[in-house]
Amino acid sequence: MNTTERKLFSYDREEDADIHEFINQLPKRQHSKYIRMALRLLKEQLDTGNVTTSREVSLSTNPQKSSITSKTKENDDFEDLSDDILNMGK
């Protein structure tokens, strides 16, 4: 049984230039590893209340309605096609 969960995420190369530069400096086959490490670090900081951000972060206690929002980009025209992409060619 495969327990790997795949998530597609997006960022703006100009607005998030720091993220773009950083992720492109990582070994190509280890991007997911470093994203998991960053998410665990963020989770730990949120759990302990030690998080400081340069952007407004709003996390709902309802997992179905959790969101992280940016002051500079309120509407993300992203459509989740991850299942379609993962099933291409099947």
**Residue of 2, 10, 7 whose CA lies nearest to 86:** 7
Number of other CB atoms surrounding residue 51 within 10 Å: 14
Q: What is the pLDDT along the chain (90 residues), one digit of tens a residue?
A: 899 999 998 999 999 999 999 999 999 899 999 999 999 999 999 998 887 665 555 555 454 444 444 444 455 555 666 666 666 665
Q: 89: alpha, beta or left, given left = phi > 0 and alpha = psi -120 to 50?
A: left
pLDDT digits (tens, 9 = 90+) for 38-49: 999 999 999 988
Give the side-chain half-sphere CA count within 13 A for 64: 0
